[in-house]
Structure formats: structure tokens, C-alpha cells
Structure 1
Amino acid sequence: MAVTPPPSLPAHPDPRLDAILNGGLPQELAYAFGGPFHLLLPERFDANVAAFRAALDEAGVDGRVYYAKKANKAAAWIERCAVNGTGVDVASLGELREALGHGVRGENVVVTGPAKADDLLRVAVLQGCLVAVDALDELDRAIDLAETLARPARLLLRRLPPAQPNSRLGLDETELATALERCAEAADAVRMEGFSFHLSGYATQPRTDLAGELVELCLKARVMGLQADRISIGGGFAVDYAAAGDWERFLTEQRPADYHAGKSFTAADFYPYHSPVAGSDALREILAARPSGTGAPLADRLRETGVMLLMEPGRALLDRAGCTLFRIQGVKERNGYAILTVDGTSLSLSEQWFNSEYLPDPVLLTTGDGPNGGPARACVGGATCLESDMLTWRKVAFPVRPRPGDLLVYPNTAGYQMDSNESPFHDLPLPPKVVVDQTDGRIRWRLDRRPPA
């Protein structure tokens, strides 16, 4: 009886990446490193930044893009930010030092996150960074620091989203009113430059709605003598990993029998791997929409009021900017499918540690030594003794049978997958990051300047 193949979810075609993977470089690097590694494509990062800037230009809106550094620890992205003037969003002293150390000017850094440490605030004020204030006591500390250092603190006031009242981040309406009064009273110690928010999820209209509210708050703050000429809408720009038909088919057809050990997932457990409006197109939609569905489009309101739009995309700037490769070191047959063991762990594919699954199909690169046999289904486990160390619970349908020595390529992993949860568990080394340069028709590589840590 024919076995129904498990649903697949191929990533969007990527001929430029295929040109790298189909050459000899992957096997050479796998031999050199003796373990898994990540490929970084900084040209893609530059292109994604340019796409966001183009969306602002098309709408005639003054704005600034800040790369959310938490999405990937590699130095390559910060180096590109320093060169092309992209801002950087940081939330720790370590991240701030990394940004400054790679040449990003303090004025191009926004400091976010709750309850910021005194050392972080001190360096941020000294370097002229823009600080998103999350609480009244944090505002008081920032003002005290500014007065002590005789340096004005550049501040945004972070708004608690009314539609997400249970969020632990931001100032509610009463706190916001108090914060504005304190900023006005602080006079030259503070440059209150505007307001910010960050919404969960990827819907665009709620971002337009809240941005419209922040524009009105800027106008009220100006009456109090405050600068208030910019707002930040945070991140949450979706990435489109796969085609709509493939995504819909996957969600419809997937069932526990398609996963090792009968593991089950619901649609709500997964990142939305297809998004009809993603990246810079989501920004276009936000700008074109009308706040709360009435009045002028957001872009018009920003222009009319002279309010600058700031944003902090992370994953969206890393779309197609990297992939992760593992070498297969063991193949075991079990109940009609294979269990592959690779030379790394699921700690280097972070989605697995959120009770979810990274769904874009891994691509098999065979060594070409001898016949592989026909199509085969296989799940993928890590090189540890933990039952839960699974890179892919799903029984992926491969065109040929995987063998030890073959490579598995997980596509489009630069955004949050590579290093959010990496750990040298079992004393296994962290996968190195390899920066690939495709200029002048040549493919060259170097190690990322930040050593694994």
C-alpha cells in the first residue's frame, strides 16, 4: 500500500544561495570546521535595509531604520550598519558596546528594553543614544544621570499598547502624563524627542492605529515645550518564508503521524511562514492605512506634523541573509522512516526551544560518492543524549536517502534561529559564522569577526 508522503514546505527559490551551495564550498567548510556552521550573506542585509528606506521615500516620510541586534549576534550586520548609516537597536550594555565598537555612532543607536541597568543608561547618555524609557523610576534615573554628567538625555517615552493591556512593557495613560510633566520640569537635562511602542504579532492596522495616537501625543507634548518630533513603531515586520499554496497545504495536511514519536502541533504553534504582506511591504501598508480607519493616511499625518518615523526590524532585515549547515553523522531506520543524527544540536535552531518547529524544508547536499537509493523520509536529531534534542520532528521527504557525510542546509535561519539559544552543551563548539562575499563574480569567505562565545 502506498504511503502518503508527509506535507512539505519548501522555502522560496533562491538562485544566488543555490550557486554557493552547489559548489564545493559547503563540503570544504564542513571538513575545515568539523561541525555545523552558519553562512552569512551581508549583501542581502544591505538590500533589505534599502527596501525599507525605499518605502519611506515613496511615501515622502522622514524616517530611520534601526536594526534590532537581538535577532543575530554576528558582527557582520553591525559592520554594515556602521558603513551605510543604519541605526542599531540594543537592549544591554554588551550590545551597546558591540555597536559602538564596530563604528556605529551613539546618535544612531536606540536603547530599548525594560528596567535598564545604571551602567547601560550611563553609557547611553554619554554617547548621545536615544533611550526608550519604560517606567517612571527609569525616567528619574535617566534625569539624575543627565544632570550628574551634564549631558542631556535623549528620550522616547514608551507607550503601553491599549490593545495589549497585560503587557509588562511601557507606560499607561496615567504614567505617561506624569512622565511628560517630569520631562518638562527637567528642562535642559532632557531632550524628550517623542514616543515609542512595540506590539506583539504582525498585523499592520494596529500599528497604524497606535502610531496615529502617538502623533497626537507629540502635538500635545509640544504644547508643553518638549521637542516630540519622532515616534518609533518598533519591529514585528513579518518574513515570507514560503509560498501561500505550500503553507496552506501544509497546515491542512499535517498530522501527528507526520512527526517522530507522534509529536503534534497546531497552526498556532508555528510562526506564520507565509505572509502576504511582509518586510518593507508591511511598512508601505502601515503608512498607507488610516489610523483607526478614519481621517488621512498615516503618511500624510506624519508629513503634516513634521513627525519622523522610526522602526526597529530584526528578522525582516535578515530575510534570506543566512543559512545553517549540519553534517549527517548517523542514520538509523525506525518504523519505516530514518532518524538522522547531525553533528550539532537543536540549540542552534532556536525555534525548537519554543515548543515549535522550524518548518522550511532542510535541503540535502549529497557527497556524490556512490548511489543514495530512492526517496526517503527522515526526522533529524542532534548529537546529544536528550530525547527532545530534535532539529526536525517532522519526517521530511528527501529525494534520495540521506547518508553519513551528507550535509543538511536549513534555509533562511539568520533571523533569530542561529544563536538565540546556542550553548556549548556537551562541550560541543558553537557553530562558527562564515561571511560570504559574492562581489566581482567571485565567491569568497571569511570568519565573522566576532568569535563564538
Structure 2
Amino acid sequence: MAVSGPTWPTLPVLPDPPTDAVLASGLIEELSYALGGPFHFLLPDAFDANLHGMRSALEEAGVDGFVYFAKKANKAAVWIERCAVNGAGVDAASVGELREALGHGVRGENIVVTGPAKGTDLLQLAVRHGALIAVDALDELDVLITTVLTGTARPARLLLRCLPPSQPHSRFGMNDAELSTAMDRCVQVGDAVRMEGFSFHLSGYAIQPRADLSGHLVDLCLKARVLGLEADRISIGGGLAVSYTDADSWHTFLSEQKSSHYHAGRSFNTGDFYPYHSPAAGSGALRALLAAQPDGHGRSLAELLKNSGVVLLMEPGRALLDRAGATVFRIQGVKDREGYQLLTVDGTSLSLSEQWFNSEYLPDPYLLSQGSGAPVGTWPASIGAATCLESDMLTWRKISFPSRPRTGDLLVYPNTAGYQMDSNESPFHDLALPPKVVVDHTERPRPRWRLDRHFT
């Protein structure tokens, strides 16, 4: 039933003409029919544009840098293919990810291997192909030197990962004493390793803490050079925010939303929501970082990097995938509840991963009606999954749709490529994983498509 009177919080996404063009083309309905279930569509042109934006930010600041795509953000092969074509790198954290990057054309020297407590097989493969290795702990460094490099002519390229002083309980990185020991160990083994610098993993999206820690790593590079180590680069990891919506919509949503706006009176800690609006996002966040002045330094990070001869490495995931894909479900059941509807779609919340973080994917989905004459009004509805779990909800929030959702209609969740569409997917109930469709609409009257070439 249509509802009048109370207002319902909304969170519209920012304008996205390429996605709008795909939705208007009729391709989504055809793909849903052909694939017979939920699917994701991918827009590689958006990835290219995001990569270009980051490179432009580096060039404008006069900073030497290199961008690695954090593969964990999305499993699709098309992103690796775009990295290979564009000469970008890949951040891999497993043997499988490293093999995928190599198999889709990325050169070994353009791969950085991250993650804690890497296995010998991963380290061996990384050294064999000349990949850069972010060493997370002293025992990992010992395994690399005493086991992996035994009988290997090729030196190991490595960064030493720093434990952020502002996040001392992080499980990633080494403290100052451990870093000092690690540097001494690198000096002792001589040409067996190339210690190229330092890296960090920092939670959150704030600019200044990232600038402060970057400045600290530049200082560490200068100290390492005194010991005779190469130390000419630092990696800041990811953490470049994505802005899904405008500032007014985001702040209005946070101020208005309450438990009655969610199915079963569910409530969320707003601190667990991703910051769906950020004043500095993507390449803009990188520009802000380069312009920031690290604590204890009288100049910007860009000037510090240039004057020290330090190359800036980064491993963005979500920020390279901004507006690069969406997720489509078909409504296969509708129930009327008091004041709203409860929709059931042909997939699960495992394909919309915010539930993993006890949170909610907040951008409003689009409703594509299959029939004509759908009643217009305010039609609030929550969206559940096709499983036997009470908690399996794609959207607990009662979305305010402009027309009545009906069985057979399609729901399109926008901008899901970054960490949403496959981070937590599982063939629960023996349901097939949603396929990924690569869409090309460059200079064409109608987009064309192909299935992604992911090896597994």
C-alpha cells in the first residue's frame, strides 16, 4: 500500500551518466532474462578514469608515484586486464591473486605482495617474478632470508611495514625496535635483498594521520640510507575515500534515520556506517594528502617526497572502482506488512557485503518496473534474501520507492564494485554466485557485453 504522511530517509547516489545510460538501454532486463538470476555489471571505463585521476594528482604535485590496484576489492579479471593495458600495478595477498595478476598480463615487477604471515609458497613465487614484498614481521623476514632465498640468484625486493604509532593495537606491521632489527638484518645479508623502503596499513579515511605517518616513513628512509640501504619509496596502502552521495543528503540521512525506518525495528550504530559522503574523495583525497603538512615537518608531503627523492606508492581498491559497477536482483516475492512491503529477491546479502560489518549498504537502489501503469506514490519496502535465515536482509531500511514494487521487477544497487559485490559471496543453499558482466558502451549507440574472464 502507498504511504502518505511520514517522510522516509533517502540516500540518492551522485549523478552517474554511464550507469544511467546502461539502465536506460534495456540491456539490464535482457541480461536478467538470459542469466536467470542476480548478476553484477562492470564498467571498465570508470576504472580507467579513476586511475587517470590519481596519476594526474601525482603529476600536478610533481611527485613520482605508482598506483597498485588492491585486488581484494573485487575478484573480476577485467580490472587486472585494465592494469596490464594501462601499466598500473596490482596488490596481491595470496598465491591465487598473484597467479591471476600474472596470468592476465601484469608484469611481476608491477606487483606488490601484502598481507600478514605470508607462506613460503607465496614468498617464493613473489621473489621468482621480481614482485615487491611488504614484510610484516621479523619472523617473515627470517623465513624470506633463510628459506626462500637459499639457492636463489635473484634478490628479494621488499618494503618493511611499520606499525602505526597512532594505532598501536593494529595486527599489522613492526614497531620501531623491530624495524631497527629488520634494517640491520637487511644490511647483514647484503645483495640477497633490496630493501626499497617502508609501508603501512592505516585504518580509516582521515587525511592528516595518513600524512603524518607518511612523513614518518620518509624519515625512516633517510635513516635506512645511512645504513647503506636503498630505501627510496614508501607505500601508504589504500584508504582514499569514495563519496557515494552529496553532503546534504548524507547529513540529513544521519539526522533523520531511526529504528522505525528499518524492518523489525532494527537499529544500527551510525559509527559503523561507511562514510558515504567525503569532501575529499578518490583523486581529490590524494591531492589533499599531498598538500597536507606532516606533523613535525615544515612543508607539504609533496615537497617532502620531492626533496627526499622518495617515490610514493599506493594501493587503492574501492577508490579505483568508484562508479565502476552495480548489482542487479529480481524481485520474486512481495509481502504486505503494516505500513510497508517486504520484498524477497533472487539472491542473498552475501553479494552486498556491508552486512559482514554489522552495517547496511545505504545508497538507494533503483527500481526497474517490468510492467506499465505501476501505481505512483510513496512505497516503502525492505528487501530480504532468498534464504532460510531471518537475518539475511539485503536492506533492512524501508526504501521509499516512487512506484509499487512487484514480482518480476528488477532492483539495481548502484556503485557496488568496491568491496560490495563479491567480498563475502558464498554459494549458500547451493545458489549460484552471480556472474559478472563487463559492459562496453564507448562510442556505441547501444552497450555491448561479455562475461568476465576470471579464471576461477
Please report the TM-score for the alignment, with normalisation by the length of structure 1: 0.98
Counterpart position of 2:203: 200
CA drift at 1:237: 0.6
Counterpart position of 1:364: 367
Moved over 6 A (4+): none
Task: Provide the secondary structure at the position in 2 that maps to 1:291.
Answer: coil
* In structure 1, distance between residues paired with 2:156 and 2:50: 31
* In structure 1, distance between residues paired with 2:124 and 2:398: 51
Q: Which residue among 8, 26, 29 is the counterpart of 1:27?
A: 29
Q: Which residue among 414, 433, 448 is the counterpart of 1:444?
A: 448
Q: Which residue among 126, 129, 145 is the counterpart of 1:127?
A: 129
Report whether the alignment pairs 1:139 with 2:141. Answer: yes
8 Å contact kept, 1:372–1:402: no
Counterpart position of 2:358: 355
CA drift at 1:311: 0.4
* In structure 2, distance between residues paired with 1:147 and 1:228: 23
Counterpart position of 2:110: 108
Report whether the alignment pairs 1:258 with 2:261. Answer: yes
Deviations 1:149-184 (A, max 9, x none): 121000000000000000111010100000000000
8 Å contact kept, 2:32–2:39: yes
Residue 164 of structure 1 aligns with an amino acid whose one-letter code is: Q
* In structure 2, distance between residues paired with 1:306 and 1:373: 61
Residue 410 of structure 1 aligns with an amino acid whose one-letter code is: Y
* In structure 2, distance between residues paired with 1:174 and 1:219: 17
Counterpart position of 1:281: 284
CA drift at 1:371: 3.3
* In structure 1, distance between residues paired with 2:182 and 2:38: 49
Q: Which residue among 248, 252, 272 is the counterpart of 1:269?
A: 272
Deviations 1:256-293 (A, max 9, x none): 00000000012202000000111111111111111106
CA drift at 1:370: 4.3
Residue 45 of structure 1 aligns with an amino acid whose one-letter code is: F
Counterpart position of 2:229: 226
* In structure 1, distance between residues paired with 2:200 and 2:73: 18
Task: Provide the secondary structure at the position in 2 that maps to 1:387.
Answer: coil
CA drift at 1:140: 1.1
Deviations 1:339-374 (A, max 9, x none): 000011111001122110000000101113443453
Counterpart position of 2:214: 211
Task: Provide the secondary structure at the position in 1 that maps to 2:343.
Answer: strand
* In structure 2, distance between residues paired with 1:92 and 1:226: 27
Report whether the alignment pairs 1:181 with 2:184. Answer: yes
Residue 422 of structure 1 aligns with an amino acid whose one-letter code is: E
8 Å contact kept, 2:240–2:281: yes
* In structure 1, distance between residues paired with 2:418 and 2:262: 25
Distance 1:135 1:256, change over 3 A: same
8 Å contact kept, 1:132–1:156: yes
Of all paired residues, the percent bearing the same amino acid is 70
Uncovered stretches (5+) of structure 1, i.e. residues with no partner: none
Deviations 1:183-235 (A, max 9, x none): 00010100000000010000011111111111111111111111000000110
Counterpart position of 2:63: 61
Please report the TM-score for the alignment, with normalisation by the length of structure 2: 0.97
Q: Which residue among 14, 38, 41 is the counterpart of 2:40?
A: 38
Task: Please report the RMSD computed on the Cα atoms of aligned residues, expressed in angstroms.
Answer: 1.1
Uncovered stretches (5+) of structure 2, i.e. residues with no partner: none
8 Å contact kept, 1:372–1:403: no
Q: Which residue among 153, 156, 159 is the counterpart of 2:159?
A: 156
* In structure 1, distance between residues paired with 2:75 and 2:385: 22
Residues 411-450 of structure 1 aligned to structure 2 (within 5 Å) = 411-442=414-445, 443-450=447-454
